[in-house]
């Protein structure tokens, strides 16, 4: 380890020796050097790089304070002055041009503090200098490696060249970096068929780098056109995130390279995609934005009774059998479908159709055609059957492995029956534990992907006989046996930030149905949407797109949610009022905190807590609650709505309690269904 030097300037060497003894007795391992003339001063500064120059109280006659300060500045070394209290001339001279530390010559504690401070700082400076030197050396070596590489490499930032090695410059036939600096990649490269370089660069700036190469034509500044393939990866240059681009020029071995690439991506027997390539293509498809109108699914297909077939046919016969099934699957597919052999006897396909029935038709085409198909195996013929599992993709599909697993799960269900099709749907349980809530979340995500939410519109009637033209909208999740109302799944959805997704799925369908009617509708809003700052802007776009007037809509917010999120609720109510919309607070009762909400929230209506109106004629306690609510809202210009009224005999009691608007099964009307 290098010694740390303290340079003492004094006319007597004894002063340096005294300081050396004091510091060593205090446990500080430093080397003390003395200089009494300018030559010694410069020599020690140059050879030993002291961490501090300490000017004693008796400056040598041959050295002026300005000489010391100028020499120290040359080597960026700090200076401290040891002076007697009455010696002010040297302090004044030093401070006119430099920043120095001043300590009392008779105070050893001050000396110790200054030495410790600068010793620590000097150590940090030396360590930083060493690290910087090592870093510079690494950068130099890396630059040499890049520049001497045979591969053509360039660094791209915001679509522009920021670095190019020698091989890249030679490929473009330019003399130096200045000829490509500022040159846009979009001007230089023309992607092949189906390629979109601009979109690719945008995705890479977000950290999404392609797994496959991109075929391009390079239009060099010299006017030549070169065929090449680009490989991209993440990199840093001068502290900035950028894209490293490696260019592989196509040559006479292009055909061989294409064949090798094809072998890597396809199954040898069927010439379909192999599993890895299918998974990569499916992953890329999931990451793209396909819009709400895209209907797509993954099919997983296997022959029924494969184990028995293998024992009966043997290796050669089973290959012919699998190839025959592959050809039949191809015959039922569209040109843009992705088909792959993903196991010894299993196939997967990504299909895109206009609607769900189109996807079902494709799967049934395979099943029906195969069950009526005679397989020619050379010296024998046979018939067989297959089963298919289908999993639908949607905006909440997370990855390729997930959707393939879902399709295989549906296949297992179909194979138990044989020669059949099953569509994946997660098992739904009641929300009573963390595990079962995850089941709810999977079911909700599946319902969103498969458009399984719909809304029932029910009239709201005025007990005073006036025609309101007002409707309530209640959302349900479609199930195979008994559809599920929102009150059973919405809490789980909101806890997992899916409530807002459901709102954005349901509301556009409702607006499309409301447009042009002139009716007014109550639409429920989740807590997630209340907390979402972007919701009002999105909602305004929906109004503009559907040409629905804001005055036609009344947004329903839970009083429980409003109490927990008072400021966000105030904010969204203000935003909705700017659009002309009304607001209703639901789940309202005579609780003091619920009634206090009306002091802070400007609402048009309140809706009584569910259950208060059921069996009301015989329930004195509920009648008292309703009367208390009516009395509590008297200072406000607010209308009360009661829903879920089942018995017409309760209407008179509700009217006597002061309720004006009611809805429920007592109407015996055929409800309007939206999004079924």
Say what the pLDDT of residue 265 is.
86
Q: How many domains does the chain have?
A: 4
pLDDT in tens, 113-132: 777 777 766 566 666 666 66
Judgement on whether residues 93 and 174 belong to the same structural domain of the protein: no
On the question of pLDDT at 663 being above 50, the answer is yes
Buried b (16+ CB within 10 A) or exposed e, 368-389: eebeebebeeeeeeeebebbbb
Judgement on whether residues 418 and 441 belong to the same structural domain of the protein: no
**Could you tell me the pLDDT band of residue 191, with boundaries at 50, 70 and 90?**
confident
Whichever domain contains 230, its CATH number is 3.30.450.20
Of 205, 232, 258, the domain-final residue: 258
Judgement on whether residues 309 and 450 belong to the same structural domain of the protein: no
Judgement on whether residues 85 and 198 belong to the same structural domain of the protein: no
Q: What percent of the chain has pLDDT over 90?
A: 19
Of 258, 280, 312, the domain-final residue: 258
Angle at 324 between CA 319 and CA 328, to 5 degrees: 150
Whichever domain contains 292, its CATH number is 3.30.70.270
Cα–Cα distance, 543 to 545 (Å, whole number): 6
**Could you tell me the pLDDT band of residue 547, with boundaries at 50, 70 and 90?**
very high
Mean pLDDT of all residues in 200-221 = 86
Judgement on whether residues 105 and 156 belong to the same structural domain of the protein: no
Domain that holds residue 184: 149-258
Judgement on whether residues 573 and 504 belong to the same structural domain of the protein: yes
Say what the pLDDT of residue 455 is.
92
Whichever domain contains 124, its CATH number is 3.40.50.2300
Cα–Cα distance, 349 to 298 (Å, whole number): 5
pLDDT in tens, 58-86: 778 777 778 888 888 887 788 887 777 66
On the question of pLDDT at 89 being above 80, the answer is no
3-state SS assignment for residue 232: strand
Structure token digits, residue 485: 């109302």
pLDDT in tens, 15-55: 877 887 887 777 777 888 888 888 888 888 888 878 888 88
* H or E, element range at 453: strand 453-462
3-state SS assignment for residue 395: coil
Judgement on whether residues 661 and 534 belong to the same structural domain of the protein: yes
Question: Which spans in 149-294 are helix H?
Answer: 166-172, 185-188, 197-205, 254-265, 275-287
On the question of pLDDT at 488 being above 70, the answer is yes
Of 213, 229, 258, the domain-final residue: 258
């Amino acid at each position: 380890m290098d010694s740390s030097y303290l340079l003492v300037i004094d006319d007597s060497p004894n002063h340096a020796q005294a300081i050396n003894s004091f510091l060593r007795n205090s446990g500080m391992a430093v080397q003390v050097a003395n200089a009494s003339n300018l030559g010694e001063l410069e020599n020690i500064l140059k050879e030993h790089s002291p961490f501090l120059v300490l000017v004693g109280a008796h400056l040598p006659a041959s050295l002026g304070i300005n000489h010391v300060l100028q020499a120290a500045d040359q080597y960026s070394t700090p200076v401290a002055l040891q002076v007697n209290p009455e010696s002010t001339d040297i302090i004044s001279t030093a401070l006119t041009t430099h920043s120095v530390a001043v300590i009392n010559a008779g105070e050893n504690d001050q000396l110790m503090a200054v030495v410790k401070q600068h010793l620590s700082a000097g150590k940090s400076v030396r360590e930083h200098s060493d690290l910087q030197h090592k870093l510079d050396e690494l950068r130099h070596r890396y630059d040499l490696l890049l520049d001497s590489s045979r591969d053509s490499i360039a660094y791209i930032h915001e679509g522009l060249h920021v670095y190019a090695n020698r091989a890249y410059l030679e490929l473009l036939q330019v003399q130096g970096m200045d000829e490509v600096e500022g040159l846009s990649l979009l001007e230089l490269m023309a992607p092949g068929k189906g390629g979109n370089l601009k979109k690719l660069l945008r995705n890479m700036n977000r950290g999404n780098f392609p797994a496959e190469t991109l075929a391009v034509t390079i239009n060099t500044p010299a006017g030549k056109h070169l065929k090449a393939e680009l490989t991209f990866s993440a990199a840093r240059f001068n502290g900035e995130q950028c894209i490293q681009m490696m260019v592989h020029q196509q040559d006479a071995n292009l055909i061989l390279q294409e064949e090798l690439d094809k072998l890597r991506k396809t199954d040898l027997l069927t010439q379909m995609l192999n599993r890895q390539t299918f998974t990569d293509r499916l992953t890329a498809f999931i990451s793209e934005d396909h819009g709400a109108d895209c209907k797509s699914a993954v099919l997983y297909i296997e022959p029924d009774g494969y184990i028995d077939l293998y024992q009966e046919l043997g290796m050669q016969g089973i290959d012919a059998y699998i190839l025959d099934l592959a050809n039949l699957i191809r015959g039922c597919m569209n040109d843009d479908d992705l088909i792959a052999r993903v196991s010894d006897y299993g196939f997967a396909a990504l299909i895109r159709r206009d609607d769900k029935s189109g996807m079902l038709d494709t799967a049934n085409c395979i099943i029906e055609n195969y069950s009526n198909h005679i397989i020619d195996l050379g010296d024998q013929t046979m018939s067989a059957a297959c089963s298919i599992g289908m999993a639908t993709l949607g905006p909440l599909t997370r990855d390729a492995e997930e959707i393939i697993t879902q399709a295989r799960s549906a296949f297992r269900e179909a194979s138990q029956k044989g020669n059949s099709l099953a569509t994946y749907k997660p098992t739904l349980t009641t929300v009573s534990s963390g595990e079962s809530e995850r089941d709810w979340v999977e079911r909700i995500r599946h319902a969103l992907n498969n458009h399984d939410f719909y809304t029932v519109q029910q009239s709201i009637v005025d007990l005073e006989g006036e025609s309101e033209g007002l409707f309530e909208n209640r959302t349900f999740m479609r199930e195979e046996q008994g559809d599920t109302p929102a009150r059973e799944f919405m809490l789980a959805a909101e806890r997992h930030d899916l409530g807002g997704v459901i709102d954005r799925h349901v509301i556009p369908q409702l607006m499309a149905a409301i447009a042009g009617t002139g009716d007014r509708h109550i639409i429920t809003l989740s807590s997630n949407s209340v907390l979402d700052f972007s919701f009002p802007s999105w909602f305004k776009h929906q109004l503009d797109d559907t040409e629905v007037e804001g005055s036609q809509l009344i947004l329903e917010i839970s009083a429980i949610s409003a109490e927990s999120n008072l400021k966000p609720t105030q904010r969204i109510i203000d935003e909705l009022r700017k659009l002309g919309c009304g607001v209703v607070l639901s789940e309202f009762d005579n609780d003091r905190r619920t009634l206090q909400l009306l002091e802070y929230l400007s609402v048009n209506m309140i809706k009584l807590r569910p259950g208060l109106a059921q069996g009301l004629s015989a329930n004195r306690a509920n009648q008292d609650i309703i009367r208390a609510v009516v009395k509590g809202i008297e200072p406000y210009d607010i209308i009360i709505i009661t829903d879920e009224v089942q018995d017409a005999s309760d209407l008179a009691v509700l009217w006597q309690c002061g309720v004006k608007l009611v809805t429920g099964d007592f109407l015996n009307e055929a409800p309007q269904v939206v999004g079924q």
